């Protein structure tokens, strides 16, 4: 299938300037490359949650399942566990995945289910006109917090690292080349992968100028070192003024939930024992 055939003619209703376009274009290229290399598109299933991001599955000619708010992760888990031959890619928003759906992410990471979760983290509820979300910064002024949010934002990558995720990365909707590289690596990773994307909501929380000044790409970072990953993940806590690292923070081989179910436990180092060792070292 040509790249233009991976997309379709459904009218796109995202606002001009929305960061979702970068994610859509990047995933199209990656799906095309995967198809050419080893994964036919009929072996790919996309899952979306509810929010502006969810429309992404409408714009792609790929098998997909539109789930409900906060539930993209368990639906993706179920599809993968029912058929281990499928590549399952979930899309979710920050309000969706880090709010109502956070417990599902924690358990998918803990189990190391072999799925990829792509989080469109615009740090607001965009579809419902800009209310504060779990990653909105302290002081964020929106429809639900007209005097400024009084909550400290969640650092989702830190939560995911401590939960046992075996692939963690951050992308930015203005850096398409990096997005493509991260998507490909995450989808090919055997285990639970999560990509937190700073996806700018142009209409309700336009952070392009701010992010452009702050982001940098990780270089000479040891992705297998838990302590190093934790340090880099904590560097920017979603509201301080520190530089914002982009790229892969953590990548670890480990037994997947599917392997365990199939009774095919390999000799690969176990996630839990690895985390115990890493935490001991950190302490």
End-to-end CA distance of the chain: 51
Distance between CA atoms of residues 30 and 184, nearest Å? 6
Q: Is the CB of 90 or the CB of 258 nearer to ligand SF4? A: 90
Site membership for ligand SF4, residue 89 (CB under 6 A): no
H-type helices in the chain, by residue range?
3-6, 20-37, 72-82, 94, 102-111, 156-163, 176-188, 208-214, 226-235, 257-262, 271-282
Site membership for ligand SF4, residue 201 (CB under 6 A): yes
List Cα–Cα distances, 12 to 7, 15, 69, 216, in angstroms: 11, 9, 21, 31
Structural tokens at position 232 = 């880099």
Distance between CA atoms of residues 268 and 183, nearest Å? 24
94, 114, 196, 259: which one contacts Mg ion (CB under 5 A)?
94
202, 226, 250, 274: which one contacts ligand SF4 (CB under 6 A)?
202
Point out which span in 18-26, 31-39, 118-126, 202-210 binds Mg ion (CB under 5 A). 118-126
Site membership for ligand SF4, residue 18 (CB under 6 A): yes
Q: Is the CB of 204 or the CB of 249 nearer to ligand SF4? A: 204
Site membership for ligand SF4, residue 21 (CB under 6 A): no
Site membership for ligand SF4, residue 25 (CB under 6 A): no
Q: Is the CB of 92 or the CB of 168 nearer to Mg ion? A: 92
List contacts with ligand SF4 (CB under 6 A).
14-15, 18, 20, 52, 122, 126-127, 201-204
């Amino acid at each position: 299938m040509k790249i233009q055939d991976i997309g379709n003619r459904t009218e796109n209703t995202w606002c001009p300037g929305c960061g979702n376009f970068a994610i859509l274009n990047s995933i199209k290229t990656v799906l095309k490359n995967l198809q050419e290399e080893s994964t036919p598109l009929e072996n790919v299933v996309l899952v979306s949650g509810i929010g502006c991001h969810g429309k992404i599955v409408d714009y792609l000619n790929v098998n997909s399942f539109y789930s409900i708010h906060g539930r993209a992760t368990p639906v993706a888990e179920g599809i993968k566990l029912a058929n281990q031959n499928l590549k399952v890619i979930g899309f979710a928003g920050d309000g969706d995945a880090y709010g109502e759906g956070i417990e599902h992410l924690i358990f998918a990471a803990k189990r190391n289910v072999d799925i990829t979760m792509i989080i469109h983290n615009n740090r607001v509820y965009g579809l419902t006109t800009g209310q504060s979300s779990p990653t909105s910064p302290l002081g964020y002024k929106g429809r639900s917090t007209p005097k400024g949010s009084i909550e400290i934002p969640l650092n989702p990558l830190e939560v995911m690292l401590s939960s046992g995720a075996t692939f963690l990365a951050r992308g930015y909707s203005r850096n398409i080349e990096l997005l493509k590289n991260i998507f490909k690596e995450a989808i090919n990773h055997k285990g639970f992968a999560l990509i937190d994307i700073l996806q700018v909501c142009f209409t309700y929380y336009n952070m392009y100028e701010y992010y452009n000044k702050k982001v940098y790409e990780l270089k000479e970072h040891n992705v297998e070192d838990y302590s190093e990953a934790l340090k880099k993940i904590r560097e920017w806590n979603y509201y301080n003024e520190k530089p914002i690292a982009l790229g892969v923070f953590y990548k670890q081989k480990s037994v997947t939930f599917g392997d365990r179910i199939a009774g095919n436990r390999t000799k690969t180092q176990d996630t839990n024992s690895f985390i115990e060792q890493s935490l001991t070292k950190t302490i």
